[in-house]
Amino acid sequence: MRPPARPPAGRGSGRARAVAATLAAGCMWGSIGPFVRVLDAQGFTPLTIVFARMSVAVVLLASFFILSDRGGLFRIKRKDLWRFVLAGFLSSVLLNVFYSISIVLNPLSVASVLLAASPVFVVLISRLVFRELFTANKLAALAVVFIGCVFTSGLVSGGAGLGFSPLGLTVGLVAGIGWAMYSVMTRLCLNRGYHSLTVNFYTFFFGALLCLPFASPGAIAAAVGKTPLFMTAFLLGHTLICSLLPYMLYTYGMKYLETGEASIIAAVDPVFAAFLGFFFYRETPDLPMLTGFVLVLGGVALLNLPGRFRQP
């Protein structure tokens, strides 16, 4: 029997764990900026950065499947192959590549807020494809979180001398669309009854495969050859923190949350990105940006209000 298109209600501790996992995933994605900037300074192209991240994730997950005697997680149906290929393409090209370029062209907080437009697309597409309802708290949380992201970015006040270019704006919005479509494709794979680890593995596998013709594995090997211990640890940390763990946590959260809900909760990444921007690059937040932090966190809390606010 085909699994239902919508996730279970996820009440009580199950929903609480899903929300916590999705929040953690958002924070981890918010930490991608410093990693990308270090690799960009090493001469890595955006596609090389994505290839390195996803190929290491494939090796780690495959090793786990084999060592834990869970080879069944490799199995997928031939008729579902296109779902995984498309999920890998969207998460590698439209999401990671364009977001990496956005990070280079924009301040960290601006790049994150452009990606934060993705929940708008996710909620609309999920309504059409999965018939997820427009609940009052979902729409209110979506509006509050997005406004908070705009404040957080510094676009309102120009805090810390932040700014953006038309090219940076376009690239950032394309990344947001890619993220929205990745969320939809992940839901389609989960609805086919696949384990979340299987979805993650093939997303990384096809993402790395699609990036390979345009990446530069030689640049990765050369960087590791110069400083073996540092680069190996750095690439491993980059993969775990910015790709493997957040994707696993986000996919786990989607098992108990609606697609739109998960995308809104994960939109906390601009808050964490702005914090790292201050910590590493002295992109100092001002009062409007701090107000944005509060709005984003308040929107996530609003999404999880109990009672009548959760009814359609």
Mean pLDDT (the chain) is: 81
- The top-scoring range by mean pLDDT among 25-34, 96-105, 227-236 is 227-236
Query: Which pLDDT belongs to residue 12?
Result: 56
Distance CA(110)–CA(112), nearest Å, equals 5
Distance CA(218)–CA(145), nearest Å, equals 41
Q: Count each helix (H run) and each strand (E run) in the chain, helices first.
A: 16, 0
Q: And the tokens for 67?
A: 């060592």
Distance CA(174)–CA(20), nearest Å, equals 27
pLDDT, tens digit, 9 for 90 and up, residues 108-154: 667 766 777 778 878 888 888 888 888 888 888 888 888 887 787 66
Among candidate residues 267, 201, 186, 262, the one with its CA nearest the CA of residue 61: 201
User: Using CB atoms within 10 A of its CB, is residue 290 exposed (0-12), middle (13-18) or buried (19+)?
Assistant: middle
Whether the per-residue pLDDT at 55 is higher than 80: the answer is yes
Predicted confidence band of residue 1 (pLDDT cuts 50, 70, 90) = very low
pTM score, whole prediction: 0.77
Predicted confidence band of residue 246 (pLDDT cuts 50, 70, 90) = very high
Query: What are the DSSP calls for 98-160, one per residue?
Result: HHHHHHHHS-HHHHHHHHTTHHHHHHHHHHHHT-----HHHHHHHHHHHHHHHHHHTTTTTGG
Query: Which pLDDT belongs to residue 220?
Result: 92
Cβ proximity of 22 and 262 under 8 Å: yes
Whether the per-residue pLDDT at 308 is higher than 50: the answer is no
Cβ proximity of 153 and 277 under 8 Å: no
Mean pLDDT, residues 64-71: 91
Distance CA(92)–CA(282), nearest Å, equals 30
Query: Which pLDDT belongs to residue 9?
Result: 47
pLDDT, tens digit, 9 for 90 and up, residues 184-225: 888 888 889 999 899 999 999 999 999 899 899 999 999 999
